[in-house]
Amino acid sequence: MQKRLIYDLDLPDLTEILTSWHEPAYRAIQIWKGIYQQYWQEPDDFSNLPKQLRKRLFEHFVFNHLTPSVIQKSSDGETEKTLFHLPDGKRIETVLMHYDVRRTLCISTQSGCAMGCVFCATGQMGYFRNLSSGEIVEQIIHYARYLKTRGDRVTNVVFMGMGEPFHNYSNVMAAIDTLNHAEGMNLGGRRFTISTVGLVPGISRFTKEDRQVNLAVSLHAANNELRSSMIPINRKYPIEALIPVLREYTTVTKRRVTFEWALIQDVNDTLEQAKKLSELIQGMLAHVNLIPLNPTQGYMGQATNPDRANQFRSLLESRGISCTIRVRRGIDIQAGCGQLANDDT
């Protein structure tokens, strides 16, 4: 019998299994709280359960599916990256970022990525497979357990690691529902941010669900020719299709969308691009997050210099568009935006 990953179950699933074992329903809540509040990682940790039930949990479920392999810490100590091996040989990376009061996890949703964005190390790898909801959840549990030993906790989760979250929509949302559950980790919806390269059907579906989860869109160019050269999916979902669904999103949900823009010297850091961007999103409930390009082996472009980044921001702000320049983090350990891959080096 192949064991199931326990993090793949939602509470009704777990309750149904316990009921089929002729266990009282409250046992499911005990197990759920043990997993998502105490972060217990093996059946014998559940001292509040009868020995026979602990034995049955061991026989049927896996509690440690991801194997941490390489752990790297940035020179400033503010960023930590873990390479995880999965049982089928696939690998993913997860990043913990320390801020003044926040502890933010950057989570992977796929092994590899099918979107092929030219400046992204994950996109350069190609696509291997989706992660299950439990494999997504376990990344958070791993670091929640780690932080708890230091008297700390996870405060925010961003789905900006390896993979395109809306390419694995159902599993990502199932993971969020598990982590949001009031009897478990109880992470509020606003503590999650999903980043997409612009999968229009996924955005439309997300809009209809009207979740409290934050939405970010990797835009990076304000015209189709340039954007398609950087982000191939733009050929299927061009700017003319993308921007209207984002306007609908902000109208329906009353929530702001964040546009991510990797500033690449002499490519998309010009004032002309800034003007086109301002025209594109004028009047939208939006924020622009400028990110000086992080280096990857497969792309020769260079990060814009600080003066041009400030000029880009100033032009947007002069036109009433909220804008910030993101502080780069974890570059020395390849943990920055667009740098995650699956190498053991």
* Distance from C-alpha of 85 to C-alpha of 68, rounded to nearest angstrom: 6
The region of weakest confidence among 79-88, 208-217, 234-243, 314-323 is 79-88
The whole-number pLDDT of residue 57 equals 97
Share of the chain above pLDDT 70, in %: 94
Q: Is 139's pLDDT higher than 60?
A: yes
Please tell me which residue, 96 or 73, carries the higher pLDDT value: 96
Asked if residues 229 and 196 have their Cβ atoms less than 8 Å apart, the reply is no
Inter-residue contact 180 to 187 (CB < 8 Å): yes
More confident residue, 92 or 329: 92
| Pairing outcome for strands 156-159 and 103-106 | parallel
Look at residue 101 in the predicted model and tell me its pLDDT: 86
Residue 160, pLDDT above cutoff 50: yes
Candidates 106, 117, 120, 337; catalytic one: 337
Is the Cα torsion angle 279, 283, 284, 290 positive or negative in sign? positive
- The pLDDT score that the predictor gives to residue 336 is 46
Average pLDDT of the chain?
A: 92
pLDDT band at 342 (very low <50, low <70, confident <90, very high): low
120 catalytic? Reply is no
Domains of the chain: 4-62 (1.10.150.530), 67-333 (3.20.20.70)
Average pLDDT over residues 177-181: 97
**Residue-level pLDDT at 330:** 46
* pLDDT band, residue 341 (cuts 50/70/90): low
SS3 329: coil
- Please compute the mean of the pLDDT values over residues 187-204 and round it to a whole number: 97
Region 21-48 average pLDDT: 96
Q: Which of 62-71, 104-113, 219-228, 297-306 has the lowest mean pLDDT?
A: 297-306
The dihedral region occupied by 92, where left means phi > 0, alpha psi between -120 and 50, and beta the remainder, is beta
Helix (H) or strand (E) holding 196: strand 192-196
**Confidence bin at 335 (pLDDT 50/70/90):** very low
- In angstroms, the CA 167 to CA 338 distance is 17
Task: Extract the tokens encoding 247.
Answer: 């306007």
SS3 299: strand
Q: Which two tokens stand for residue 32?
A: 């759920």
pLDDT the model gives residue 334 = 45
Task: Please report the pLDDT score of residue 70 as a whole number.
Answer: 85
pLDDT number for residue 343: 56
pLDDT of residue 125: 86
**Which whole number is the average pLDDT over 163-176?**
98
Catalytic residue among 93, 135, 164, 260: 93
DSSP state of 303: B
* pLDDT above 90 as % of the chain: 81
* Known catalytic residue at 16: no
Query: What local confidence, expressed as pLDDT, does residue 279 receive?
Result: 97
Candidate from 63-72, 115-124, 146-155 with smallest mean pLDDT: 115-124
Q: What is the pLDDT of residue 201?
A: 98
Cβ atoms of 326 and 290 within 8 Å: the answer is yes
